[in-house]
Amino acid sequence: MRQSERGQVDPFIVMDVMEQARRAEAAGRSIIHMEVGQPSTGAPQAARTGLQSRLGEPLGYTVALGLPELRAGIAALYRRWYNVDLNPDRVVVTCGSSGAFMLAFSALFDAGDKVALGEPGYPSYRQIMRAMSLEPVGIQTAPENRYQPRADEIPAGVQGLMLASPGNPSGTMLGLEDYRALLSRAGELGISVISDEIYHGLSYGGRCHTALEVSEDVYVINSFSKYFSMTGWRIGWMIVPEDHIRTVERIAQNMFICPPHASQVAALGALDATAECDANLAVYAENRRLLLEALPKMGFDRIAPPDGAFYIYADISDLTDDSLAFAAEILEKAGVAVTPGLDFDPVRGATTLRFSYARSTADITEAITRLSRFMDAR
């Protein structure tokens, strides 16, 4: 049977690494997971309790844009975190941030349109675009610019710009002046901007800024997966301009009907779990401190400054020109799963690795021991 050309997307390499690690564990090996951006903690207690109290009720379809009380709760979050007054009608609850990307790309772009994005960056941006007949245009960001695109680097002839702060894999963030420059230039070029902010709440030092502090003429995507530790619940959200609400609603009705009702109920409870989520953040902060101290001593000394998220992105060009093979060697000999940079940067990714520190501090401490032993033996 014929297959579509647009369906021939690249694999998500981190998921392949995750499967290799699973097989090693199934064979009886102990593996420390530093490959996947998944908190080791579960959903907040308030999320689980809130859902449990509703399990006796029918949990069926909701309206396409999400439960009104959840949309209002997310709008209130923007007041607390950013002092942004947000009309809850602009909040679109989605099937994870991935569902938000699909809605955003569908609402903003036509087949054949070009969308610029910084590299290194989250690999699924490119693959979802390709599956939707869009053309991703990479911006090779510089280490001295903290792997974030600059306004003067936006290429001509594109219809869209994808931003991410904190970035994956770099963990670096955009400040207000960065957003102002990028959004101003995008306005001059007449292009649409999407800001991926799913790691907000996870920052070390300065706070995360949202593009909505600068402009309302932007799509902002977030998720309950990271700060709220709800990856498997597949629940996210998107903020859209008021004159785009009905367009997005019609697409959502047909693509997804609605986000999972049970996950929406749990997410509503999670919004009240700040103390528990901040306790998780304190664990990530300690893990980050340990790794930033230990990795340079092992030879991983060219690191992007990780302002947020829970990743460290290292240039290993002095160690290898094949990050895929190097990551496989680390998994085999050290029992630590890490992600080769090819996932994030098709040009320079053969000489970079991403380390996730979303696990427990005990796991990270053990990973440091294993990695040190491995590097000493090379």
Same domain? For 24 and 164 the reply is no
Closest listed residue to residue 168, CA positions, set 97, 262, 236: 97
3 occurs within a structural domain? no
6 occurs within a structural domain? no
User: First CA to last CA across the chain, in angstroms?
Assistant: 48
- The reported pLDDT for the residue numbered 378 is 82
Task: Report the b/e string of 334-373 with b at 16+ CB within 10 A.
Answer: bbbbbbbbbbbbbebbbbbbbbbbbbebebbebbbebbbe
How many domains would you assign to the chain? Answer: 2
Closest listed residue to residue 237, CA positions, set 259, 213, 215, 262: 259
- 311: which strand partners? 356
SS3 209: coil
- Final residue belonging to a domain, choices 249, 272, 295: 272
- The reported pLDDT for the residue numbered 9 is 80
Closest listed residue to residue 165, CA positions, set 145, 184, 135, 185: 145
Same domain? For 27 and 49 the reply is no
- Final residue belonging to a domain, choices 219, 239, 272: 272
- 91: which strand partners? 239
| Angle, CA 6 vertex, CA 342 and CA 97 arms, to 5° | 65
107 occurs within a structural domain? yes
- Final residue belonging to a domain, choices 217, 251, 272: 272
Task: Provide the residue range defining the domain that includes 146.
Answer: 45-272
Residues in the chain predicted with pLDDT less than 50, given as ranges, are none
Same domain? For 255 and 310 the reply is no
Same domain? For 252 and 367 the reply is no
Same domain? For 96 and 234 the reply is yes
Closest listed residue to residue 197, CA positions, set 231, 229, 245, 162: 162
2 occurs within a structural domain? no
CA atoms of 31 and 254, how far apart (whole Å): 42
